[in-house]
Amino acid sequence: MLTEGVLARPGIDAVGLKPTEIDVSRAASLPVDAVVDYEGRDQLPDAEVLADLAADREVRATTPIKADGFDPLGDDGSWDWVADGIGRILVAGNPMYLTATEQGRAVAPRLGVARDRAPDAWVGTESVERVALAAGGPQLELLSRSTERDLHALRAAGFDGQLAVYAPTVVTDDEDAILDAVGAYAARRGPVRAALPDDAATDATATGRARDVLTQAVRDYALVGDGETVENRVERLPEAGADTVVAYPARGLDALGR
């Protein structure tokens, strides 16, 4: 059962949900908060489902401020899709779900206006770290090889705001299963992309140098391994300064619960 697995252990505060992969309503049975990812205008979960979830937990939905419909300096017709009672996470937006025109829009002015509209929103730092920090508010960063060091540095420098970490999570010691789940994700990160041979496979079929690079990369950019290994790394994040850890179940909710 989900409640008997990683989500029931101390340290995991919320689960990341992708509407194209998971029935968002299933989060109602989980003992943690929920973060719902934006995966394009055609994949917005039903607002009533989010409202029902928010009745007994904190629910946040990503708001891609460069995307039509959510652009605070342009077409903001979908802005109110995130209803009262649902928190926001302001993000630049994943290029996979943005048109070329949307990708070319400036983040900084949009983030400033969006923060004025939603002062309690979290701010996603991916690819816009300095701008996000300047905008203020709770910071959400993707897990990386430097996350613990970065969190320590922010706290040492006097940052006393909320810090959240989002991490793809794979609870298994089966290396092939890990690579199938998060190999391609890790391969998209800049340092990994640069280290991989051209046209290398990024899943369980990877061999040679590509497999060596990916085997380390998935451990840098995701929470992977058996339950004890994952739990030990999760425990280090609050020690470094994280207030919230969001686990995205890269193999599905049922696998995360084991």
CATH number at residue 39: 3.20.20.70
Q: What average pLDDT does the segment 45-68 reach?
A: 93
Please check whether residues 134 and 22 belong to one and the same domain: yes
Please check whether residues 144 and 234 belong to one and the same domain: yes
CA distance 160 to 13: 19
pLDDT digit string, tens, across residues 142-186: 999 999 999 999 999 999 999 999 999 999 999 999 999 999 999
What are the distances in angstroms from CA 234 to CA 139, 150, 188, 223? 18, 15, 23, 8
Residue 3 has a pLDDT of: 43
CA distance 169 to 224: 6
Q: What average pLDDT does the segment 80-102 reach?
A: 92
DSSP 107: S
Count up the domains in the chain and report the number. 2
Residue 5 has a pLDDT of: 63
* Inter-residue contact 111 to 65 (CB < 8 Å): yes
Q: Helix (H, G, I), strand (E, B), or coil: what is residue 155?
A: helix
Residue 255 has a pLDDT of: 76
CA distance 254 to 133: 35
* Inter-residue contact 64 to 94 (CB < 8 Å): yes
Q: Which residues pair with 225 in a beta bridge?
A: 171, 172
What are the distances in angstroms from CA 11 to CA 55, 160, 195, 205, 231? 22, 20, 32, 33, 8
Please check whether residues 124 and 243 belong to one and the same domain: yes
Enclosing domain of residue 179:
173-223
